[in-house]
Every structure is written in structure tokens, then in C-alpha cells.
Chain A
């Protein structure tokens, strides 16, 4: 490959997992690790100082929460993609990360090829979303007592339709066939949903999202 490999910034507090991820990234010729950190403090310093194309970040650090790092990255490097590293891809972790600005997740135990593929897919414009996450997004969209703020970006019927099919377990290709649209269109719908979920003003993200009726107060 003639072009420069994509620069990956790796933030993970568990040394062996960090090593595993680093190896998986380095294994792929199109990717290279440009920095790695095992704490929030170090991670923040790297985000502030360096340049990177993809941020891979865990959420739980001994000295803080990774959500803060994801917001910071979205603020300082809006172009960089962000993926959250998770063991179970459970809705609580992933949705919070998406709201903070992440646009995908990586399973910690994924094998080397899965990790590389996932990162590349994201860089190529793909937007992975699991059925479970889609279902949770749909649940949040259901009209509830505090009506969504009319100023908030509403989900279009098409976007909702796509989300529903994702939640039922259909792949993007199957959805494209069912709705008679291209796979790219499906992907762009998903990206749009991500964008609507993540709010630009990082500090107010959660507050605003709950104002829009997207997040249930816990």
C-alpha cells in the first residue's frame, strides 16, 4: 500500500489487552499505532498533543472515565473516528460512548482480523450498529412524558425504519434489499443517527440529549 497507514491512538488500562490490541492493529498493514496510554491523564495528554486518525478507548480507567476522553477527542480532533473498546458491547457502555461522540465499538476479545476489519470499515465510512443498540435507540425515541424538544434534530421515519430492521437482526445488505435502497444509503442513515445522537457541545452533551428526550434520566 502506497499511502501512509492510518494512525491509531490506543487507550486501555489493562496491559495485556493493550498489548493484544496493539498487536492486532500493527498486524494490519494499513494501520499503525501512533500512541498508547494506560490512564486518563496520559490519554488526555496524548489527545491534546498528538495527531491521529482513530481513537480506540476503553471507558474504565483507574483515574477516571473514558467518556471524558472521547468528548475531548471529538472536540479537539473532529475528523478523527472514535471507537470504544468493550467486553460485552452492552448498551450502557456503547450508548454513552456514542452520545459522547464515538461512532463504533470494538470487542476486546475480538481476534486480530476482526479488529483490523472493524477499524477499516469505520474509516471507509461504515457505521456498525448492533441489534441491541438499535433497539435501545428505538426505545428512547418512543414518545414519553417529556416530549422531545422541537428544536432537537428529529429522527426521520426512514431512519427509524432502518433502526427497526437492525433491531430485528437484519444486515445492512438485507435492509437495503427490503427497503429497495443501496447499502450506502443504509450506512448513511446509520451515520446520521449517530450524528444526531452525539451533540457538538461536549460539556452539555448528556444534559442536552436528555432535553431532546433521547436519554432517559437514570
Chain B
């Protein structure tokens, strides 16, 4: 890598990191400023000196109780009280009763307060009995009924109750005309309460959306981790917007802090999957720690809970929470991307706000300005929503592109297949032609060639009669016709093949005076009845008929075709051609070439053939061909003797 470019990039990323960190701090600072502006109002009477007494009574304690002096704000963390319910009293001197409507504004209360003026209850922040109302973020404001403020001394009494004797808080108390107090109160109410409700609601909605997404695409764990992160974030943040807890005692607090301790674990899972670098050991460690802390939180006695949560749980959460942020920043520094700045800011926001809250909870900075962690979520949420959306769009585009490519690929393969199929067909065609040519050559050599040679010798021989030559020519023509017939596609039907032979041979038999009896029955088809085999069958019987016409002096010939099992029980077709001519002796048969020829042909057909003859008792030429047994009883007679 080019050194200059590298250093520039490093500088660049360092600058970006610094900028996003600064932005995060700036944002926090701005929020604190806003909060302070809405807490410390310029108008009205700020009551900052008080007397207090400890009492769990629901009504103001009698004036003769022991009252101690204290300054407001009073943070119990700094100066713990003996109990968790404290009564404050303020003495106010009014020259003349005010004409306008006045109000009392309590910007920050931990965790519940009721306000009494001159012995009259003005209002409270919720239940004082278990479960105690929690006004973490909600400012309180009470109108003072007309006439209640009287000339001279007025006694304002405020009861503050908290879950522990060291976590109560009362920030300044303002007494002023309603018109100057109320707008500030509304603003603070919106900023600290309504806005948080919106934020948490949107987190819930996002979590549901992500869980749905995950259920639709279970392989995409990222969505599930993000959804879990949001869920624990919501569970933690709920304490800021739920005034009346659903659970009594400190169960609600145990739950809130349990959620907090799971936040680093879930966000680590999410960030690791987001950056695609997963350290399973750290996840396991976080899982164990979170489980352990949760168990401890659920089991320790109530009195330990506030201290344990404030110091230990928040500190552990902060340390653990630093890890995913560190991983994210580290990854972004190593892999700068277009949205590095935004992502870094998202990470830093969480970190900076988390540190602030930890400092506040542990009393290192004022607790009056409240906690800000929930406010860090919207930028991060929007950012990750944007990134996920972009991922989705990219995936959609990619799938569309892939589809197009696939389509093209399919078309290409299709063409290739067609081409290769075409080539194969061409090859097959050529093979067929070659095969057919060699067969024709062989047949012509056996048939026509022989006839022509024989013809030539007869023509050359001056003794030959034209009748002989004509007969030889006719044989040659017959053989040609046999070849033509053999090329007919009879689809394995032997009867159709023999029918053609009958058409050829019958006119000649007739003119010789031989009657042909055609006896055939339904026979199963012959498999693989190629033209070559067809020609062998035709030649066997053509020769038989030719010899009969020449030598037998027969009057009648019977052609019998039927199914016939051989001695082994194998199914077959028997073609039996018998005449009633003069016959011949066995020696005559053996000496002739006819028997050898037909036996050779029969062997080529996979069958057997024979010639039987006895002097005076006619002659028989037969051919048996095997068939695959399919039809159980093919021997159904279809035609009678003619």
C-alpha cells in the first residue's frame, strides 16, 4: 500500500472518529443544557432552604416534630437520611394574596412526592404504598387553588419517598404564577417524558418488525440479535416512562437492571454479526456474566438491591458495553466505508451517554439533570434501520441481477443443449446412414451382386437360353423387391411382413398352378425386427417358394404362422411352409446349399430353421423365432383356411 495514502487514510479516519466523538459529546451537552434550562426556571420563587423530618405518615407531621435544616437540592446519595420517607417544610411570607393563579413546580423528584399547602393536599406523583410510584423523569406541577395562599406566613410541605434511604432526591422547588411556571413544566414534561414514550414505543415497534423479519429469514441472525438488543434496551428504559410499576417491592428494579446487564451481551452479538467478525468466547463470557448477575439480582435481599445495582451492575454494564462499541469503532477504522462517520457517531453516542449515566448514578456528577441513555437510541436506530434497508435494497437488486444472469445462463445452456442435441442427431443420422449403407452393400452383394454375376456368366455362355436369362433377371428383380419390402417399417408385425411376400409370390404360384393356403393367427410382435432381420426372413421363404415352384411339382402349399413353444418351453413364433409335392430324400437336403443358407440366416435371427422332406410326401421349410412372452395367450385364430 502506498505509504502516503495509508497515512492520509489513517489521519482521515482519526479525524472522523474524533469528529463523531465530539458530536456525541456535543449532543449530550446540548441535551443537558436543554434539561437545565427547563429545570432551573428564571421566573418565580425558588425555594432552596428547608427543614425536614423523617416520617412515614401520609399526612403532614405535627409542627412539634424534630425538624432539621437542609439546603435544596437535597440528594440523599450525598447525605443519606435515616428513613425513605422525608417531609420537607418551607415557610413562605406573602404580603398580600396573589390575584393570579399560582402553581408549584417540582422539576426533579426521586421517586415520589406529595405537596401540601397550609394543610391542604395539592397533589402527588402517584402511589405512596407498595408499589411506590417512580417519577424518574416526570416533573411534577400543582396548581394552587385561589385563596389558599394567604397574607402572612404560609406553610408548604412536601413529602418525598424513595425505595431506599440513599436514593431519594429533591431538586429545586419553584413557586410562581402559573403562567410563568406552566410552559416550562410542559416543555420539561414533553422533553423528559412524552418524548421518551415515543422513543420507547418506536423501539418496541422496531423490535417487533425485526423479529418478524427474522422469523421470515431465520438464516439472518443479525435481525434477531438487533431485535434482542432493542428488547433489552426497551426493558431497561421502561422504568423512565412507567410511573406505577406493575411489580411490588423492588422486583421492578431488579428487572430493569437485569435488562441493563443483558444489553452489552445482545449488542455484542449484533455488532459482531454486523461487522462479520464473531468472537464466540467473548459472547460466552458475556452470557455467563449476564446470567450470573441476573441470578444475583433476583436473589439478593431487597436492602442490598439499590447499592448493588447503582455501583456494581451499572459499572459492569458500562465495562461490558464498551466492548461492542470498541469492536465497532475498531472495525470502522480498519474498514472505512461511506457511512463510517454515521456508524461511529451511533456507537459513540451510546458510549458517551452510558458513561454520563454511570457517573450520575454513582454520584460523580449531579443526578438532577437525570439519565440520558434512552435518548441515545433514536440516532442508532434510524442509522441501523437505514443500513438494513440498504442491505435489503442491495439484496433485491442483486437478486434481480442474478435472475437476469440466470435467465441468460439458462438461455445459453438451452442453446448449447440444442446445439449438442443437433450434433448428436447429426451423428446419429450419419451413423444410421453408414450402417444402412453397409447393410445395403452386404445385401446387394448377397442378392443382386450374385444374380448379376450369374447373369453375366449366362449371357457370356452362348448355350444359355433367353428363358434362363429371363428367370435370372426375374430373380434379381424379386430380390430387389424383397429389399424394398424389408425396409418397410412393419413395427415388428411379422404378418405384415409375410403379407408383402405373399403379394409378391402369389401371382407366380398362381401362374404355376399352385394353390396357396394362408393360415395365420394372432401372434405377438417381434422385438427389434430390423430391416436386416426382415430381409433374412423374407429371403428364407422366398427361396423356399422359388425352389418349390422350380422343383416340387406341388399343387398346394400351406403357409402356417402360429405361436409355438420350443422344447425348452421358450415362447416363439413358428413359420411353417409345407407343400404336397414330390418331396426329396434327406441326403438331397443335406447336399444342397439351401439348408445351410437358411440355418445361417435363422442363427442370425436368433432362431432355428429346418427343411424336412420325404420322397412322395412333400416338403416342409420352417423357421422358429423367439419372442418375449408378454401376452399370456396370443394364440387366437383370426382367419380360417381359404
Contacts and interface: CB of A to CB of B under 8 A. Distances in A.
A167 B503 contact: no
Contacts of B640: 174, 177-178
B474 interface: yes
B496 A171 contact: no
Contacts of A109: 474, 477
Given A173-B642, A177-B642, A110 B507 contact: yes
Contacts of A91: 488
Contact of B480 (A88, A132, A165, A167): A88
Nearest to A171: B642
B638 interface: yes
B642 to A, nearest CB: 4
Contact of B503 (A132, A177, A178): A132
Contact of A131 (B474, B496, B642): B496
Contacts of B490: 135
Given A109-B474, A170-B639, A131 B520 contact: no
B518 A170 contact: yes
A109 B500 CA distance: 17
A91 B503 CA distance: 13
Given A170-B518, A174-B518, A177-B642, A131 B511 contact: no
A168 B496 CA distance: 5
B511 A88 contact: no
Interface string A197-211: 000000000000000
Interface in A7-63: none
Nearest to A136: B488
Nearest to B487: A90
B499 A169 contact: yes
Contacts of B485: 132
Contact of B484 (A88, A167, A169, A174): A88
A170 B520 CA distance: 9
B484 A168 contact: no
Interface residues of B, number: 25
B488 A132 contact: yes
B289 interface: no
Interface string B496-525: 101110110011000100000010100000
Contacts of B507: 110, 114
Given A131-B503, A135-B490, A169-B520, A88 B496 contact: no
Nearest to A111: B511
A149 interface: no
Interface centre among B477, B518, B642 (most CB of A within 10 A): B642
B524 to A, nearest CB: 14
Contacts of A114: 507, 511
B495 interface: yes
B636 to A, nearest CB: 13
- At the interface, is chain B mostly helix, strand, loop or mixed? helix
Contact of A171 (B480, B493, B518): B518
Nearest to A113: B511
Contacts of A192: none
Given A169-B518, A174-B639, A178-B638, A88 B498 contact: no
B481 interface: yes
Contacts of B511: 111, 113-114
For B480, B503, B640, the residue with the greatest tally of chain A CB atoms inside 10 Å of its CB is: B503
A75 interface: no
Contact of A174 (B477, B500, B503, B642): B642
A122 to B, nearest CB: 15
Contact of B502 (A87, A88, A90, A131): A131
Contacts of A178: 638-640
A65 to B, nearest CB: 21
Interface string B613-629: 00000000000000000
Given A88-B480, A173-B642, A178-B640, A167 B518 contact: no
Interface in A168-205: 168-171, 173-174, 177-178
A130 interface: yes
Nearest to B637: A178
Contact of B496 (A87, A89, A135): A135
Nearest to B638: A178
B113 to A, nearest CB: 94
A178 B641 CA distance: 9
A109 B471 CA distance: 11
Nearest to A134: B499
Contacts of B520: 168-170
Interface string A72-103: 00000000000000011111000000000000
Nearest to B488: A132
B509 to A, nearest CB: 12
Given A88-B480, A168-B520, A169-B520, A130 B639 contact: no
Contacts of A166: 499
26 contacts: A88-B484, A109-B474, A110-B507, A111-B511, A113-B511, A114-B507, A114-B511, A132-B488, A132-B499, A132-B503, A135-B488, A167-B496, A168-B495, A168-B499, A169-B498, A169-B499, A169-B502, A169-B518, A169-B520, A170-B499, A170-B639, A171-B642, A174-B518, A174-B639, A177-B639, A178-B639
Given A131-B503, A170-B639, 8 more contacts: A130-B503, A131-B502, A165-B639, A168-B496, A171-B518, A171-B642, A177-B640, A178-B639
Interface of B: 474, 477, 480-481, 484-485, 488, 490, 493, 495-496, 498-500, 502-503, 506-507, 511, 518, 520, 638-640, 642
> Which 3 pairs, one residue from A and one from B, show the smallest C-beta to C-beta distance?
A169-B499, A131-B499, A174-B642
